[in-house]
Chain A
Amino acid sequence: MALNIERKVSSDETVISVAGDVDLYTSPELRKAVLEAVPGAAGRVAVDLSGVNYIDSSGIATLVEGLRSAHKHDKAFVLVTPSPPVMQVLELSKLDNVFEVRTTS
């Protein structure tokens, strides 16, 4: 399944909504979207992962890169309603406590 990424900007938040499979082939698209959004974001950067069916370690690594970039630019970085497959891989990677996770969009 292809990856669909949408970006919505408001005064206090930039939301990147992700749907589909995040894998070795599609994660560069997510990386581009996240790393482009972070520097100019007005407030926090929220990545909505509720529509993600599958994520592999390249997707998780991409989220880590987003978090690193947000720290560098002094921005908050939040994962919003991660789907069960995302939560599972985050837990397996021992990174579930590294990210701020919001359960409502």
Chain B
Amino acid sequence: MMTDTHEPIIEVENLVVRYGEHTVLDGVTFQVRRGEVFVILGGSGSGKTTLLRNLVGLMRPDSGRILIKGEDFTSMNGDDRIELRKKIGMCFQGSALLNSISVGENVALPLREHTKLEDSTIEIMTKIKLELVGLGGVEDYLPSELSGGMKKRAGIARAMAMDPEIIFYDEPSAGLDPIVGAGIDVLIRKMQETFQLSSVVVTHEMESVKAIADTVCMLQGGRVVGIGSLEELERADHPYIQQFFARRPYDEEAEDSAYARALTGLD
């Protein structure tokens, strides 16, 4: 398959998502180029989880479009949507492994559900995927027998099961100690480099961003406030980006004053 590394594999156009009266995503627009690691960065409540849910097709937006490989994913229904979702791997924050079946069966599950491959082929594919993520030989273990870092790796192996073209990671290093988290960052980069995978990573961890990002998209209050390389964002003069990168807390005094004004109506 010939691929142009500059062509966009995901195009998000003017995405708007509301929960009731509350606008969670407000005109979000960006492109993810084929083969890059695209990091969606933002604080709590910035809308990054909602954005991810829309990108993987777990939600539909109120307006706007998401094109995946040039096809309008947002308006797609039925078999077309299912076919396109097969090209997408999702690595959930809590790994989302099924605890009642072995690690190998977890990895094999998408293949058993969505393909007509023989069991013997699936068994070999499962071993290849587990070896790729550094978990060779653990296929018969139950998820409960794995450490947090191993569970993350198993989740990545399962996301890779169908040989996806795009893989999404939701807070991949959340809850891991810094050394194990750094190992996951190395693995994400390795998967991208070796398979030319397009990777979209939602995170708020700056150390992880430094390790993996080709492009960083900064969200605040449901809007894109900056997009570019990490170096470009570090030079940006947007106050929220500067505050986020400097890990400066919110100004409590200003917030207190605003609260008092709202309560009393006095300046």
In the bound assembly, the distance between CA atoms of A105 and B163 in angstroms comes to: 29
Query: Does A21 contact B117, Cβ atoms closer than 8 Å?
Result: no
In the bound assembly, the distance between CA atoms of A1 and B1 in angstroms comes to: 8
User: A77 → chain B, closest Cβ, in Å?
Assistant: 15
User: B8 → chain A, closest Cβ, in Å?
Assistant: 20
Asked whether any CB of chain A lies closer than 8 Å to the CB of B22, the reply is no
Q: Which residues of A contact B132 (CB under 8 A)?
A: 92-93
User: B82 → chain A, closest Cβ, in Å?
Assistant: 14
Contacts A31-B121, A92-B195 given; does A24 touch B163 at CB 8 Å = yes
User: B245 → chain A, closest Cβ, in Å?
Assistant: 35
Query: Does A54 contact B1, Cβ atoms closer than 8 Å?
Result: yes
Closest to A54 in B: B1
Could you mark each residue 60-90 of chain A with 1 if its beta carbon is under 8 Å from any beta carbon of chain B, else 0? 1110110000000000000000000100000
Q: Which residues of A (13-40) have their CB < 8 Å from a CB of B?
A: 21, 23-25, 27-28, 31
Q: Which residues of A contact B115 (CB under 8 A)?
A: 24-25, 58
Which of B9-17, B123-131, B224-232 has 4 or more CB atoms under 8 Å from chain A?
Answer: B123-131
Contacts A24-B162, A28-B118, A58-B117 given; does A65 touch B1 at CB 8 Å = no
Q: Which residues of A contact B162 (CB under 8 A)?
A: 24
Q: Provide the main secondary structure of the chain B interface.
A: helix
Closest to A92 in B: B194
Interface-central residue, A53, A57, A92, A94, by most chain B CB under 10 Å: A57
Contacts A57-B128, A92-B132, A93-B132 given; does A65 touch B120 at CB 8 Å = yes
Interface-central residue, A27, A56, A61, A65, by most chain B CB under 10 Å: A61
Asked whether any CB of chain A lies closer than 8 Å to the CB of B116, the reply is yes
**How many interface residues does chain A have, given as a range?**
20 to 34
In the bound assembly, the distance between CA atoms of A54 and B194 in angstroms comes to: 14
User: B24 → chain A, closest Cβ, in Å?
Assistant: 35
User: B42 → chain A, closest Cβ, in Å?
Assistant: 33
Q: Which residues of B contact A61 (CB under 8 A)?
A: 121-122, 124-125, 128
Query: Does B1 contact A27, Cβ atoms closer than 8 Å?
Result: no
Query: Does A27 contact B128, Cβ atoms closer than 8 Å?
Result: no
Closest to A85 in B: B1
Q: Which residues of B contact A64 (CB under 8 A)?
A: 124
In the bound assembly, the distance between CA atoms of A56 and B87 in angstroms comes to: 12
Q: Which residues of B contact A24 (CB under 8 A)?
A: 111, 115, 117, 162-163
Contacts A23-B163, A93-B132 given; does A28 touch B116 at CB 8 Å = yes
In the bound assembly, the distance between CA atoms of A56 and B163 in angstroms comes to: 7
Q: Which residues of A contact B131 (CB under 8 A)?
A: 93-94
Query: Does B121 contact A27, Cβ atoms closer than 8 Å?
Result: yes
Closest to A60 in B: B128
Q: Which residues of B contact A65 (CB under 8 A)?
A: 120-121, 124
Complex partner residue of A58 from B1, B2, B121, B195, CB under 8 angstroms: B121
Q: Which residues of B contact A94 (CB under 8 A)?
A: 131
Query: Does B129 contact A57, Cβ atoms closer than 8 Å?
Result: yes
Q: Which residues of B (116-152) have their CB < 8 Å from a CB of A?
A: 116-118, 120-122, 124-125, 128-129, 131-132
Interface residues of A (CB under 8 A from B): 1, 21, 23-25, 27-28, 31, 53-54, 56-58, 60-62, 64-65, 85, 92-95
Q: List 12 A-B contacts (CB under 8 A).
A: A21-B1, A24-B111, A24-B117, A28-B116, A31-B121, A54-B1, A57-B163, A58-B121, A60-B124, A60-B125, A61-B128, A94-B131
